Amino acid sequence: MKILIINGPNLNLLGRREPDIYGSRTFEDFFGELKVAFPGVDLEYFQSNHEGALIDKLHEAGFSARGIVLNAGAYTHTSIALADAIGAITAPVVEVHISNVHRREAFRQHSYLSAKCVGSIVGLGLEGYRLAITYFITHYNTRF
């Protein structure tokens, strides 16, 4: 059972800058914890600061992965191309945001991606990724 986590721009800085908003853990450290917590899952992590690379990854994994957990960072609020990519693939996508985007600037309160995703988890910190994986295990535990 393969579940892919995709993080978008600037999320490689997690744990290194702005800990008041995004926490003080690196994603690499958290990902190690996820692999221990879900030993039966083939978990993969991909991060890119480039919109096209994120789209390529969705195309590459989007017809075979059991589910994709996507934090597209600021592209969430700008990218029709990413929305189209999510709409084009067969794997279900859960949108995750570490911060509560609805409590922040107005421009963060619209997502081009939400309507293409099976659901969204916002504001629960890194816990959102764990919840999304649990959702896929519970609801998509059969072969396509």
The binding site for ligand CA2 (CB under 6 A) comprises 10-11, 13-14, 17-18, 22, 71, 73-74, 76, 97-99, 101, 108
User: Quick check: is 102 catalytic?
Assistant: no
Please report where in the chains the tokens 């195309």 appear, as a residue: 59
Minimal distance, residue 38 CB to ligand CA2, in Å: 21
Residue 104 has a CB neighbour count (10 Å cut-off) of 14
Nearer to ligand CA2, 129 or 136 (CB): 129
User: Quick check: is 97 catalytic?
Assistant: yes
DSSP string, 53-87: HHHHHHHHHTTT-SEEEEE-GGGGGT-HHHHHHHH
Residue 114 sits at φ, ψ, to 5 deg, of -55, -45
CA separation (Å) from 124 to 55, 73, 96, 97, 98? 25, 15, 9, 8, 6
Nearer to ligand CA2, 2 or 123 (CB): 123
Minimal distance, residue 4 CB to ligand CA2, in Å: 17
Minimal distance, residue 142 CB to ligand CA2, in Å: 30
Nearer to ligand CA2, 91 or 98 (CB): 98
Q: Which residues are catalytic?
A: 22, 97
